[in-house]
């Protein structure tokens, strides 16, 4: 996959939480790659895009080199998406103290 696109996804999807959020997203991306998702499936599954900062680029390069561990979570949703669709909380919730932002990671699609 394109390193710049991966970095934009990491920044757009997890950057609001900081490095912890981007790392959670990176683990989900690696899980999708190991589950044989095709690059175009991954690109369309992640709609968040933002101009990447240095940490996002570093993580994207690490994903491309296979140096980020698979975390076992195929799907990652914001708290806003979880609330909007009235899904159960994620199998793992990633957040940082003193912020309202959360990422909900799921092993299976939350709507099933």
CA distance 29 to 68: 9
When pLDDT is averaged across residues 56-77 and rounded to a whole number, the result is 96
Query: What is the band of 34 on the pLDDT scale with cuts at 50, 70, 90?
Result: very high
pLDDT over 90 (residue 60): yes
CA distance 108 to 112: 8
Q: What is the pLDDT of residue 97?
A: 82
Q: What is the pLDDT of residue 10?
A: 97
pLDDT over 80 (residue 104): yes
3-state secondary structure 14-67: HCCCCHHHHHHHHHHHHHHHHCCCCHHHHHHHCCCCCCCCHHHHHHHHHHHCCC
Query: What is the band of 61 on the pLDDT scale with cuts at 50, 70, 90?
Result: very high
When pLDDT is averaged across residues 22-45 and rounded to a whole number, the result is 93
pLDDT tens digits, residue range 7-16?
999 999 999 9
DSSP letter assigned to residue 110: T
When pLDDT is averaged across residues 31-58 and rounded to a whole number, the result is 93
pTM: 0.93
Q: What is the pLDDT of residue 25?
A: 97
């Amino acid at each position: 996959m394109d390193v710049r696109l991966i970095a934009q996804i990491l920044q757009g999807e997890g950057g609001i939480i900081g490095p912890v959020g981007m790392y959670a997203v990176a683990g989900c991306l690696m899980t999708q790659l190991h589950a044989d998702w095709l690059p175009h499936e991954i690109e369309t599954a992640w709609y968040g895009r933002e101009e990447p900062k240095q940490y996002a680029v570093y993580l994207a390069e690490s994903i491309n080199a296979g140096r980020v561990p698979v975390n076992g979570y195929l799907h990652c949703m914001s708290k806003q998406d979880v609330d909007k669709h009235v899904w159960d909380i994620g199998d793992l919730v990633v957040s940082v103290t003193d912020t309202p932002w959360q990422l909900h990671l799921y092993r299976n699609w939350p709507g099933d």
